[in-house]
Structure 1
Amino acid sequence: MKEFKTLKILDHFRKAFEKMGVDYDLMRRILQVKFVMDGRKVPVVIGNAKKKDQETENGFIKSLWIYVLMGIINVVLVMMNESYIFQMSLVFGITMFMVMTSLISDFSSVMLDVKDKNLILSKPVNNITLNMAKMIHIVVYLFFITMALVGPALVAAVIRHGVMFFLLFFAEIILLDFFIVALTALLYLGILRFFDGEKLKDIINYVQIGLSMVITIGYQLIGRLFNFIDLNITFQPKWWQYFVIPTWFGAPFEVLLRGDLNIHYIIFSMFALVVPILSIFLYIKLIPVFERNLQKLNNHNGRNRRSKEKLVSWIAAIVCSTKEERSFFHFASKMVKNEREFKLRVYPTLGFAFIFPFIFLANGMRDGGFERIASSNAYFNIYFCALFLPTVVLMMRYSANYKGAWIYKVMPINELESVFKGTLKAFLVNLLLPLYVFECIIFIWIFGVRIFPDLIAVLLNIYIYTVICFKAFKKELPFTRAFQTGQQGTGGAVFLLMLLLGILGGIHFLSKWIPFGIYIYIIVALLINAVLWRTAFKISWETLVE
């Protein structure tokens, strides 16, 4: 079996692990197997990997260059010399955002894995050894991701600011990684204490959306910690800044390297040191409790879902025109709601789609105030909720249960139009429509009922955009591909489709300059929708991707 350099480095800490009650040789072998298996996975960030490459190369290692590119902005920030707390808060904000996002998308399944208990603990392996292997497994990969993000910035730091800056930066990166792992695990533990079975799995997905949104909002808040006056950066302490975690890690640079003993900087610095250490010790202490509660993921209660099924049937009767289409609407709705891995991949994306319109709206409010925004055309920001629709449409083809695709061959399917239309309508009704309706309520509260016709026009544009996204990608039957097969050659198409959304929004905006233009636009959009939804799904079996 392949020998990994990471394990050789870990060998130097053998005695420390053994003092903690860990069977080091067994832990090392478990980690070795896990690293080999990880080489066969494709991280979400490199969905365009080719299948033949996956069999010969470590997909995770291949993904690191993308993180290096994303981390170039950190180099620019570190090279600044105006305000350490400003530049380093931004660096740690960007790093925390990317690492936490990677943890949510690629490593939640590792953290919440219950198979190890059944497979490994049936052998002579103790709990401490297995739990420590799981923790190291996650931390090692997050450390690689973090180093890819901040590695160039660390080089820039030692050149621009010297060795002490570099050492402090490196130490805080380690603390940040441990804090992220512990924080996520403790959050999951809090949920595990009160829920079980299918309900728990749903809550975990919602928490992952919430984490994505909180991190995104926090990233936006970092820039609002500071005021720019004549190009000079000034820090004005507020009570809420104590909840912006990246600020904790930016403050020690001011205290230790510039000798600024501002009481707020000192408190932030204490948080940066004490909170990660306490959280990791708390996590280690609660690992047995965490693992016991993880077994709840195997429980399935027999809840009566008749009321929900009646609602789905009622909606299907409204939006679907044929019995066959309604059948696939039901099928896709159940897949969207019940398949855990699918939700792990898609739901965080929906979280970003939800929060982005409000982020851009908040930027406008900061510059012009609420009253000026309410009388403006800033409600066009709601188009950002559809920005991630190409990714969601693309994910329609993937499933953890893709081996069940044989069912398409044995079902009496006369034509494929009902398959794709029913599935796509289920995606819109279950994923996008609730999000859009909620945002419309908030936007109407901000801008007034005057925008109601525009919201109708936006929804019609989104329906047009959905069909265009579907037509842009190669045609595959829904839920027939494994997630690991990747999304080969789709990056450019997704980018162009995002630009197309802007064009649709621009045409909508221009229509407002014509008398009764918005109403004319709604009529035209209705006609375009009718034509597209009637003609775009006439697909033959021969045109499908094998």
Structure 2
Amino acid sequence: MPMLILWLLDRCQPLWRTLGADYGQLRAIVQVKLMMDNRRSTITLGRYGKASAENNSNFTRTLGLYAFIGGLISLAMLAAPDKDRLFFPLTLQFSYIMALCAMTLISDFSSVILDSSDNQIILPRPVSSRTLWLARVVHITSYLFAIALSLSVVAILFVSYRFGALAGLLFLAMSLLSAVLMVFLTNIFYLLLMRFTSEEKLREVINYFQIVMAVLFYGGYQFLPRLIGEQTLNQAFAHQWWHYLVPPMWMAGTVEAVIRPVLDSTHLVFALLAVFTPIAGLWFMNRFLTTDFTQKLSSIDQESQPAQTTQTTFSQRTQSNKANWAERLSTLFTGNTLERAAFAFTWRITGRDRKFKLKTYPQLGFGLAYVVVMSFRGSSFGSTGFFYLFALYFAGLYVMVAQYQLSISDSYRASWIYGSAPIQNPGDVLAGSLKALIVKLMTPFYSLLAIYILYRYGIDKISDVLLAFSNSLVMLLSAALLSVRHMPFSVAQDALKQSNTARSLLTSFVLGIVGFSHYGLTYIPYGTWIALPFSMLACGVLLRQYKQTGWEQIRMG
């Protein structure tokens, strides 16, 4: 792929010179960036890839996955409707392409866009800020073109087969212009963030934006097919004024103008907006935002050093407040000094580690979204009386993802401290870390779930909620006892080579048995209240067993 990008770059030399770039310098910068990409791990909606080798095929596999998912969407949207009713399906198709391009820019390329090392290394040389900025745009846009093409390749084939090659080529052009438009809008998004936030806050905002978007993607995946329905897809739409404000509708209207065919003022405006807005955005970025963006990156890089003097009091105050909370809770839920220290340590790390949050929080959001969506499905499993129990126990699987992540960290090399510190009983460290996870993530998660279930199914389900929570704790402790035990944050992401499929299947099977047993107890008067003390006793026994873990049971990363 890098060779193809460079070949296409060579074919467009006059364009880059017209935009004010030194082509030799631009090509050299892009070539180095493409070479470095093969050594960078990728992120897609919160799931991290492995560190890459020089001949990495990770991006190729990602494109294949995008092509498969895009093909399913294209099959659902474009295979059935006739040409007079394609505007809404085409809008959904382009909305999906734009959303994935924007998410890729914000998640996978945020570190590339906000990387100020280019300024420090290249700008002291005789390289203009415009050449450097265009190199960034070419680098990122080349990948977005590949992503947009993979998402739309099946749709292009469908449209070409049904309505002719011209319609297929136009669909391809609109997909690529969608990628260019997302580059422009994302740059505006970053400039606005950089105007009002510091570097640290900026990365925090991006991190939480990734989490929220991951949850929204899952919720949209569940909600949209039920909201749209076959009748909505097949109805003809009367164009309204607000359609001119929605970019996916520009692209859909342009393609529709060739498919039907029709050429009226509405479709002509759509075509003009679809073609000229991305080009105008690229010109506007090159003309007005190049210097501003480079200066903002430089100022952010400078802020990160003196911020210790300008923002020290505020950051120290907030950190001390968080530390006080962690200390108070650790005193409340732990029994000795070592366990208390592990509790506070895990509490702080899980609040600072962006990768932990990006891998864990979306899973919990998925669980809540799934319960809400399924509970509203009429004449289905979600409307049965058994569903609220299924939701309570199924949610426990999402919490186990967080428990698995407790041993993983990018700073795993610092785990030598465990061996050098006078730790006689590592089980106290493991127990304190697990308690922090239960208090910080599992309890709030189950509280939100319980509030919804009690609101939806009645306050009389309080005993079921308490028993399910206690049983989920039993399952969480059982999974911790059965799995290979690592000290907190002591293992690299790629070091856990063992397959966890068997353990996951066993845990799911046992969780299902426990859930059905709970369902049987609901037919016994006060059965759940009677079972609750026994479940809590099992929690105490398992936790005591976990605390007795010795060094011979610990595997260091």
Native 8 Å contact 2:78 2:86 kept in 1: no
Q: Look up the match of 1:540.
A: 551
**Contact 1:84 1:253 (C-alpha < 8 Å) held by counterparts:** no
Q: CA deviation at 1:149?
A: 3.5
Which amino acid in 2 is paired with 1:159? Y
> Out of 284, 302, 312, which is 2:326 matched to?
312
Q: CA deviation at 1:316?
A: 1.1
Q: Runs of 5+ in structure 1 lacking a partner?
A: none
1:437 Cα offset (Å): 2.9
Q: Is residue 296 from structure 1 mapped to residue 295 from structure 2 by the alignment?
A: no
User: Is 1:13 aligned to residue 12 of structure 2?
Assistant: yes
2:133 maps to: 131
Q: With a CA cutoff of 8 Å and minimum separation of 6, indicate the structure with the bigger relative contact order.
A: 1
Give the structure 1 partner of residue 486 of structure 2: 476
TM-score, normalised on structure 1? 0.82
**Whole-angstrom distance in 1 between the partners of 2:291 and 2:367:** 36
Contact 2:97 2:152 in 1 (8 A): yes
Aligned residues: 538
> 1:256: Cα distance to partner?
3.5
SS at match of 1:226: helix
Deviation (angstroms), 1:187: 2.8
What is the aligned partner in structure 2 of residue 391 from structure 1? 401
3-state DSSP of counterpart to 1:113: coil
Mapped pair 1:527 → 2:526: no
Alpha-carbon distance in structure 2 between the residues aligned to 1:59 and 1:99: 17
Corresponding position of 2:432: 422
State TM-score, norm by structure 2.
0.80
In structure 2, how many angstroms separate the alpha carbons of the residues matched to 1:246 and 1:440? 39
Q: 1:416 to 1:3 in 2, by over 3 A?
A: same
SS of 2:234's equivalent in the other structure is strand
Partners of 2:264 and 2:474 in 1: how far apart? 55
Q: In terms of Rg, which structure is larger?
A: 2
> Residue 262 and residue 20 in structure 1: after superposition, are their counterparts in 2 closer, same or farther (change >3 A)?
closer
Contact 1:316 1:330 in 2 (8 A): yes
Matches of 1:16 and 1:424, distance apart in 2: 57
CA distance in 1, matches of 2:263, 2:470: 57
Matched with 2:215 is: 213
Amino acid at match of 2:211: I
Deviation at 1:35, TM superposition (A): 1.8
Partner Cα separation in structure 1 for residue 482 and residue 114 of structure 2: 35
| TM-fit CA distance, 1:324 | 0.9
**Cα offset for 1:532?**
2.7
Change beyond 3 A, Cα 1:349–1:147: farther
Q: Which moved more, 1:373-382 or 1:510-519?
A: 373-382
Larger displacement relative to structure 2 (218-227 or 206-215) = 218-227
Does residue 1:360 correspond to 2:374, yes or no? yes
Aligned mates of 2:517, 2:372 — CA distance in 1: 22
Structure 1: distance between partners of 2:223 and 2:427: 46
Partner of 2:124: 122
Instruction: For 1:190, give the aligned amino acid.
Output: L
Residue 426 of structure 2 aligns to which amino acid in structure 1? L
Q: Is the 8 A contact 1:476 1:545 kept in 2?
A: yes
Residue 57 (str. 1) matches residue 62 (str. 2): no
| One of 447, 453, 457 as aligned partner of 1:437 | 447
Let me know the Cα RMSD of the aligned residues: 4.2
Deviation of 1:29 (Å): 1.8
SS at match of 2:108: helix
Q: Which of 16-25 and 418-427 deviates more?
A: 418-427
Tell me the amino acid that sits aligned with residue 289 of structure 2. Answer: L
Q: Which residue, 319, 332, 335 being the options, matches 1:321?
A: 335
> In 1, Cα distance between the equivalents of 2:369 and 2:241?
20
In structure 1, what is the Cα distance between the partners aligned to 2:91 and 2:505? 30
Which of 230, 237, 246 is equivalent to 1:228?
230
Give the conservation status (yes or no) of the 8 Å contact 1:49–1:488: no
Gaps of 5+ in 2: none
Superposed CA deviations along residues 338-379 of structure 1, whole A, max 9, x for unmatched, are 234444444444444443333334x42xx489xx97999558
Tell me if the contact between 1:317 and 1:326 (Cα under 8 Å) persists in the aligned partners. Answer: yes
Q: Which segment drifts farther, 62-71 or 414-423?
A: 62-71
The one-letter code matched in structure 2 to 1:122 is P
Distance 1:203 1:42, change over 3 A: closer
Paired residue for 2:36? Answer: 37
The verdict on how the C-alpha distance between 1:43 and 1:325 changes in structure 2, with shifts beyond 3 A counting, is same
Take 2:400 and 2:542, find their aligned partners in 1: how far apart are those partners? Answer: 17
**Residue 289 of structure 2 is aligned to residue 286 of structure 1:** yes
Cα distance, 1:71 vs structure 2:
3.8
Instruction: Answer whether contact 2:250 2:273 (CA < 8 A) is retained.
Output: yes
Q: Which secondary structure state, in structure 2, belongs to the residue aligned with residue 54 of structure 1?
A: coil
Shift of 1:313: 0.8
Which stretch of the first structure deviates more once superposed, 345-354 or 513-522? 345-354
Distance 1:237 1:368 in 2: 33
1:17 is displaced (CA, Å) by 1.4
Matched, 1:452 2:456: no
